Structure 1
Amino acid sequence: MSYQIESRTLTAQATVVIRASIPAAQLPAWLAGTYDQVQRFLTDHGIRAEGPPFARFAVHADAVTVEAGYPVLTPVPGSGRVTPSRLPGGPAAVTIHFGNHDDLGLARQAVADWLKEKNLEAAEPHWEVYYTNPGAQPAPVNWSTEVVTPYRTG
């Protein structure tokens, strides 16, 4: 699969999330339940999501530290497991993956290769923006996921 990587300057974005540290194999089921919980929180508090769901990851030897939720217009207080957060602003390498989520590693590797080729270093955990809800069961070729990796300059 071929990926087009582009450099973008992102604006910091307020978010509402749930955080966890879980085994990677549990991630798909955890994400599905998490998005439902955050969406209920937003609805219950009259807050509108300002974009599609995302998940931000840090991978460790035996687990994945993840925060998942939705961007919002302004910071909002959380409640219980739902907490405020933010996606950082600044330079980022971005690509779109079309297809099954099982193959997202190919997109992440393409971004890592691009950063290495440009002598840049990833700055923070990457995140993925899910433009297609895999729970809707579309044909895998129709899934669209943006992979975002912030990086340091100079």
Structure 2
Amino acid sequence: MPHEVHITQTPHRDLAVVRTATTFPGIPAAMGQAFGRVAAYLGPLGLLGNSPAVGLYTDMDLQAGTLTVSAGFRVGRPVEGDGTVVPAELPATEVATTTHVGPYATVSEAYDAIAAAMALQGRELDESTMWEEYWSPPGTPDEDTVTEVFCPLKPAA
């Protein structure tokens, strides 16, 4: 399925996350543990709503194959955290975005589509921070899994 890429302005959003320094192959395990920990923290506070799970990727070193993953959930207000669960923010910024339908293992196709579309438009990605929103509950068949991908853009020249 082709990826339709859009440029849009995203609003500021607060998150509750667990941050993990990991390798690219370690992302699924880190995220699974983080989502469970954040859900356990937010549930008793009444803050685990209908928002998607979020994976925020920073500190990427492609040569070393390492990055920091901040995985958790959007929340309606900043949280204090408990030392393991910490507050985080998604910036209000201009992004290139697309929706990926299919297995997580093929979500890189969405990033490739964003990079190609922005190159055609003469826009440059700010690769210091990228994020994904996971809209499918656990147990969704791979072919029906919906992931929205966001890549901030550098200011237009």
TM over 0.5: yes
1:127 paired residue among 127, 131, 142: 131
Q: Tell me, yes or no, if the aligned pair for 1:93 and 1:148 is still in contact at 8 Å.
A: yes
Matched letter for residue 52 of structure 2? P
Matches within 5 A, 1:1-150: 1-49=1-49, 51-58=51-58, 59-60=60-61, 61-123=64-126, 124-133=128-137, 135-136=138-139, 138-150=140-152
Contiguous gaps of at least 5 residues in structure 1: none
TM-score, normalised relative to structure 2:
0.90
TM-score, normalised relative to structure 1:
0.92
Q: Tell me, yes or no, if the aligned pair for 2:31 and 2:69 is still in contact at 8 Å.
A: no
Moved over 3 A (4+): none
Q: In the TM superposition, what whole-angstrom CA distance separates every residue of 1:5-55 from its partner, at most 9, and x where no partner exists?
A: 011111110111111111221211211111010011001223234611010
How large is the Cα RMSD of the aligned pairs? 1.4
Contiguous gaps of at least 5 residues in structure 2: none
Aligned residues: 152
Q: Tell me, yes or no, if the aligned pair for 1:50 and 1:73 is still in contact at 8 Å.
A: no
Matched letter for residue 147 of structure 2? T
**Identity of counterpart residues, as a percentage?**
25
Q: Tell me, yes or no, if the aligned pair for 2:18 and 2:72 is still in contact at 8 Å.
A: yes
Partners of 1:86 and 1:74 lie apart in 2 by 10
Partners of 2:19 and 2:31 lie apart in 1 by 10
- Aligned residue for 2:2, secondary structure, equals coil
